[in-house]
Amino acid sequence: MSTANTLPAPGLPSKFRQFYVLTKPRVVQLIVFCALIGMVLAVPGMPSAADFKLGLTACLGIWLVAGAAAAFNCLVEQGIDARMKRTAMRATAQGQISNWLTLSFSATLCAIGSVILYVWVNPLTMWLTFATFVGYAVIYTVILKPLTPQNIVIGGASGAMPPVLGWAAMTGTVGPEALILFLIIFLWTPPHFWALALYRVEDYRKAGLPMLPVTHGNEFTRLQVFLYTLVLFPACLMPFVFQMAGWIYLLAAVGLSVGFSWYGFKLWRNYSDALARKTFRFSLIHLSALFAALLLDHYLI
């Protein structure tokens, strides 16, 4: 007797939750938060009511398109997800949601989000957001991820786009300030994901994905994590150097960057899975707190 026949059919709340999980809500929340930082920095001083409305509309559109990209990623990688402990419970990996339904769900979210951005924000933001969708869901997921251990580095361009989207939403342009924020996330992405890959290496090996710890080994990957934290350090100081932020941000950036580099150094010199987990968790704190400091600094100075 098949599993499908022995389990009760999920009710509406359960089915809704399955679709919600496909959008990778925690990842999307960080994406929208980074986009929001771009929006805030693009508007001098306190936002007007019109700015506030525009920002909320842009956040909604970006959230929908980002959720669509995540769902499409789950569809493409359902076979890989089924072989990895971290993702084996996804509804697509277990066959609880059909491919057609997942594709329709992704397309619907993308279409609605794109219309919102085009009509109520501006065409530039819509096209940049759609390009990010293609970059993540197609170029990274379908082409880069299964082919090269540099998938995270090259594909990180898509993940670094949210502040650019936020800036474009409020100004209709892409300024150099937005590109600085892009650079920070772009350089942050490899040490963040490689720290995860170090303690999940067997999952990636079973899935047949050429992540750096699988192709080049643990020691080489640890060195790359450390080196990237060092390169990231000066990039995190650029908002202060280019007068995008003041002393509050500078103090936060130095403290967080020293912390991330210290984790990278310890991971390089004395590896353990527990330390890799701590490094991964700190990387999330690093980016969230760094952008929160930008937000705080913008309104207090």
- What pLDDT, in 10s, does the model give residues 26-70? 889 889 988 999 999 999 888 899 999 999 999 999 999 999 999
Q: What's the rounded Cα separation, in Å, for the pair 121 and 94? A: 38
Q: Are residues 136 and 187 in the same domain?
A: no
Q: Are residues 131 and 160 in the same domain?
A: yes
Q: Are residues 34 and 166 in the same domain?
A: yes
Residue that terminates a domain, selected from 158, 173, 188: 173
Nearest to 160, CA basis, from 109, 235, 106, 93: 235
Q: What is the pLDDT of residue 74?
A: 86
Residue pair 288/252 in contact (Cβ under 8 Å)? The answer is no
Residue that terminates a domain, selected from 149, 173, 197: 173
- pTM, 2 dp: 0.86
- What pLDDT, in 10s, does the model give residues 124-163? 999 999 999 998 888 887 888 778 888 888 888 888 999 9
Whole-number average pLDDT of the chain: 88
Q: Are residues 85 and 164 in the same domain?
A: yes
Q: Do the domain assignments include residue 90?
A: yes
Where does residue 24 fall: left (phi above 0), alpha (psi -120 to 50 degrees), or beta otherwise?
left
Q: What is the pLDDT of residue 145?
A: 78
- Structurally, the chain folds into a number of domains equal to 2
What value does the mean pLDDT take over residues 1-27? 62
Domain boundaries, position 207: 175-301
Q: Are residues 187 and 105 in the same domain?
A: no
**Degrees, nearest 5: CA angle 269-272-275:** 85
Q: Are residues 99 and 183 in the same domain?
A: no
Q: Do the domain assignments include residue 4?
A: no
Residue that terminates a domain, selected from 141, 173, 205: 173
Looking up tokens 């970006």 gives 62
